[in-house]
Structure 1
């Protein structure tokens, strides 16, 4: 518990630098919405994930199964990428998710990117890249992005380094801090935090179906 509290203090300190009245207002909704643009669903499932976190990777396939089981007007999954400070490349990979989502705004590009990153998590983790420079890792990330979407390498690198992309990605992280998020994965269902990290698909379905009745 002490470690979690200390981590929360560190995370909140990293979120400093915004106006005292609150966060800057973004020009688009924060997070990534499964199945297309934001709906007005009966139930909204929000997941806070770190894109290079093994625990986030473990829950991700189940989340996709759950989201695919419903129409977005019934249940819509929204993912906020919450980069923990001890995962060296999470912020860059989160920026890449936004770049690709804007490059191919079809509702599933960011989720395909998350799946691809999780499938390559060993080569993108802090321990897996400790002998590589940031530029070398960026080259690896660029190749993955190109293979997934066809985006040109120079375009991708330029966008990942773009200040507006960086600010939007930081804003999503800071938003999580304002919600009290300090560990991943974390979940809310209709804005209420729910300890669902160990739920199976059947447990998710039973719970969500009860809300839809």
Structure 2
């Protein structure tokens, strides 16, 4: 009996590892079939990239608690450093969050209708994400959950756009865009959220939020190195 729990833990770990490996293989192979017309992700505040811009890419799941916790300190860093930082968020729907794909798809729908409020909707998902947790929607159909998400998003976009938001869930293009986001994450080796890249290099401890002090410890040396190189 004493070995039962360790064996279960090892079994779960092996199963998770196999799942991740298979997902990465399938996503990588499938991603080779076509190249999207535009680079994946949502640009924060439409900032521009210059020679000395520090580029941050964040892979986030709208219904992931760790993604939620990672956003406030990252946003604080973005406000502090201003245009020195350029952020691109890629939605990465984790398969074990039942509504991750639909909420990520909602971000693509919103971005298509009004890109200026995409991050506002993302923050709304983070603030009220418990509405879309697995247990809360267990007895709901996918169609009813999508309708719930549509009404939720309309609170930001405008209730007059509810029909357009809901029609977005039947639009093949938004489905493909959300798949591309997931495939792109797989191609970069992303296995969980939050997952960050700075200037193209992955940060350690993926799946964990970085506090404001942590971001300053990452960014300040880069700005210092840039100043020395001038």
TM-score, normalised to structure 1's length?
A: 0.88
CA distance in 2, matches of 1:14, 1:119: 33
Task: Please state how far the C-alpha of 1:28 moved relative to its aligned partner.
Answer: 2.2
Q: Which residue of 2 aligns with 1:103?
A: 113
Deviates most, 81-90 or 41-50:
41-50
- CA-to-aligned-CA distance 1:142-172 (integer Å, 9 cap, x gap): 1111110115221111112211111111011
TM-score, structure 2 length as denominator? 0.82
Alignment of 1:1-213 (within 5 A): 2=14, 4-13=16-25, 15=27, 18=30, 22=32, 24-36=34-46, 39-40=49-50, 42-72=53-83, 74-106=84-116, 109-150=117-158, 152-195=161-204, 197-213=208-224
Distance in 2 separating the partners of 1:122 and 1:27: 34
Aligned residues: 208
Q: Report the RMSD for the aligned CA atoms in angstroms.
A: 2.0
CA distance in 2, matches of 1:7, 1:116: 30
Structure 1 unmatched ranges of 5 or more = none
Show CA shifts across 1:87-120 (max 9, x none): 11111111110111121122xx221111111111
In 2, Cα distance between equivalents of 1:65 and 1:83: 24
SS, match of residue 82 in structure 2: coil
CA contact 1:43–1:76 (8 Å) conserved in 2: yes
The runs of 4+ residues in structure 1 deviating greater than 4 Å are none
Q: Secondary structure at the match of 1:170?
A: helix
Q: Give the SS at the match of 2:87.
A: strand
